[in-house]
Each structure stands twice: as C-alpha cells, then as structure tokens.
Amino acid sequence: MSFDADWMSRADDRILEHLTDDGPDTPKEMADSDRVRFSRQHINARCKTLVIYGLLIHLGNGVYDITRQGEQYLAGELDARDLEGE
C-alpha cells in the first residue's frame, strides 16, 4: 500500500505504474495508453511535479522515467508525505 501526500493527484499513481510496466515514456504516449486516462497536458504537469519530489526523472525530449524512490513509493516502502520538493 502506497501512502500519498496532499500535493499528489489521482493521476500520479497511474503515471508511476505505467512507467514501471512500460519503461520511459512521454506524456503524449501515456495519454494515448489505456492505463493513464488523463489529458496530455495534465500528465505533463503531473510529471513535472513528480520530478520535483524525486519520484520521476526527466530524461530529455519530453521523456520521463520512474526513479528508485518512485518504485519504493509504489511498493509501499516510502511515504510520499515525507518527501520535500526541490
């Protein structure tokens, strides 16, 4: 069970799960998938926030990937309420 924080949105877990299963991806590709059912714009904004809190890394050219902290959060090993943004 993962512990989310007040700054998180419903899209965040879907984004993290998608990247765990499918590897690095762009907000457009995530929006086109059946798993992340949010607009590209919303996914893009959430990815930027997840980078600030260390759950994602921006690889360049709009491509994001999950970090070790992101994997720990999904596994219930990390409480997102303890994370501080950059």
Q: Which residue has the tokens 């992340």?
A: 36
- Residue 52, domain extent: 10-80
Instruction: Grade residue 12 by pLDDT with cuts at 50, 70 and 90.
Output: very high
Is the per-residue pLDDT at 69 higher than 60? yes
Is the per-residue pLDDT at 1 higher than 70? no
30 within some domain = yes
CA atoms within 13 A on the CB side of 38: 17
Average pLDDT of the chain to the nearest whole number: 93
pLDDT tens, 20-50?
999 999 999 999 998 899 999 999 999 999 9
Q: Give the span between the Cα atoms of 70 and 4, in whole angstroms.
A: 11
Closest CA to 59 of 49, 43, 47: 47
Query: CB within 8 A of 43, min separation 6: which ones?
Result: 11, 15, 27, 30, 31, 36
5 within some domain = no
Read off the CATH number of the domain in which 35 is found.
Answer: 1.10.10.10
Instruction: Specify the number of domains making up the chain.
Output: 1
Instruction: Grade residue 86 by pLDDT with cuts at 50, 70 and 90.
Output: confident
